[in-house]
Structure 1
Amino acid sequence: MGKPLRVGIIGCGAIIAQYLANFRRLDQIHLVAVADLDPARARAVAEGYDGVRAVSVDELLAADDVDLVLNLTIPAAHAEVALRAIAAGKSVYGEKPLAATTGEARQVLDAARAAGVTVGCAPDTVLGTGIQTARKAIDDGLIGKPISATATMVTPGHERWHPNPDFYYQPGGGPLLDMGPYYVSALVTLLGPVVSVMGAASHTRNQRTIGSGPRKGQLVPVDIDSHVTGVLVHASGALSTLFMSFDAVQSKSPNIEIHGENGSLVVPDPNHFDGNVQLFGLGADSWETLPVSAGYVDSGRGFGIADLAATPAGSEPRAGGLLAYHVLEVMESVLESARSGAAVPIHSTAARPDAVELGCLAVQEISS
């Protein structure tokens, strides 16, 4: 108690920079070691962060001074790395998704439960002021009983900017599995767990042309549906509609919109931590921007780990494994429904995470 959570990172790709920037200002976290299949990348990170050593994956997993492993490997390796960390007695926090499939994700959760360690998972964007202010507006009854929501993510495709976009168009990729964790996590945080889904999907092109980098002009095969629509039935009775596309060009629709008996909310981009929340109340003449009223101020990637560190022993973290598993099952089931043409029940559930009061993460008593 009273000591920072000692963290080791496996995977030193591009996303690590955002975590490192926030770790430097989070008193709940003490970064001690980094590892990567490319030792040079791990050494580069260690050289730029005082007190951090570059080690092999095996050395990091065996280290006595690592309490939690931050898993920043590719999605296909998420379960393997998490299971190795758990077997070594470490808690785990992973980038989204929790695993490539719900079957693998279940193995991770079961292993963690047996070992008595904690599992957390991105996205932690839901802990920021954007989603949390919207949640408080719903909890305070500003829109009455929630009826429905829409969640929209439109881009003409990551190949326009990503130098190696192949993964996005292979099984395990696609707009829903890539960006859906942000949107579905936000919807569950706002409206509660999902009990069944229906889905439909399509794709417009069998090949994509890389638009940047050394492979510019090369063709990438498309082996997945690149446009997905889903309807989520929440346990509360609210209905959410997902619109996730790598095919369409642009949208003027809000990223997320929530409709209730007495008003509607525009919710900011769930891939960000902040943003304006707008309310149009019954009988109003225009949209009103609500004051920031909840969530971690000035937050960013890694705040979910600091929140986990401050979570009482035995309690589920807000950005926890149960929520990540539920979100993954929802997404898998939307794609299953798209293939079968039938509604698919959701077997898992996840309690709506505790609300985050407005404030900054300060030094707290830490359990590791």
Structure 2
Amino acid sequence: MSAPIIAIDAMGGDFGPRCIVPASIPALTEFPSLHLVLVGQSSSIESILAQHAGVDPSRLRIVHAAETIGMDERPAQVLRGKPDSSMRVALDLVRSGQAHACVSAGNTGALMALSRYVLKTLPGIDRPAMVTVIPTERGSCYLLDLGANVDCSAEHLYQFAVMGAVAAELQGIERPRVALLNIGVEDIKGNQQVKLAASLLQQAEGLNYIGYVEGDGLYRGEADVVVCDGFVGNILLKSSEGLASMISAKMEALFKQSLASRLAGSLALPLLRRLQGELAPSRHNGASFLGLQGIVVKSHGSADADGFLSAIRRALLEVEKDMPQRLHERLEHLLL
């Protein structure tokens, strides 16, 4: 394929261009064929770029967008009232073929609404789903939905399961084990939507559906793809991030309490740093919007420069895998 081009919503997230622009520059060094388009208020972007020497102008350009989208703005208002927002312009670049993917740390609801409006969904998909890879005892697991769809029908959960399985297959997992997140593994457990989704998945040919999994089973690696509605998924993800941060802080405090604990901590430090690196939210930052006719990756709004760089890596991987086309080919068999 031609050189990959990724459009960056430079104005999104909690920190805007002062975080996103510096995070984008190392991506050009890490991936020599990558081209970036920084979308947003050109004066702000240019002033930050001026502080970084050695940026190759042939691989990075700026597209001006006069408007920004606040993290608390309603999606419906954004659709109607902000045609020149950095998020909308970045998505338009993907639609027109001037970019292969869009990365944004902005308002999740607005990004989902604009993505559906600008890029449209693949045939057979009612709603795109947010998916990310989370660490488990056995490796990793694809979790979806993460908050794009708070209220889901059984059919939506079924579609999420199919998309998650295809995403896992494209990453080299043969016959990924697909499970529904539930409050128990018994058939009688769960709400009506989960039970109906289970019935649909049991009848699906070509899917390795293994049944229900509980939250602790997810982290034990009992499934490769775990499906839930966005309300549950978002709470699970944020709680997991908070728990990892708390454990890290508690361990650091314990190792500082006395001379003996400091000595023990110095011996354990290499292993602790390795564990922190494996569990760090920044390493796993970047949730894909599966089911669109284009590639969109959502970065955590509070992500630092390392976290946003991880989201760029995720987008580039999907560009290289041609995710929408390959997803469409598999969905034709499984859904249509």
* Structure 1 or 2: more helix by fraction: 2
Given the two structures, how large is their TM-score scaled by the length of structure 1?
0.35
* Structure 1 or 2: more strand by fraction: 1
Given the two structures, how large is their TM-score scaled by the length of structure 2?
0.38
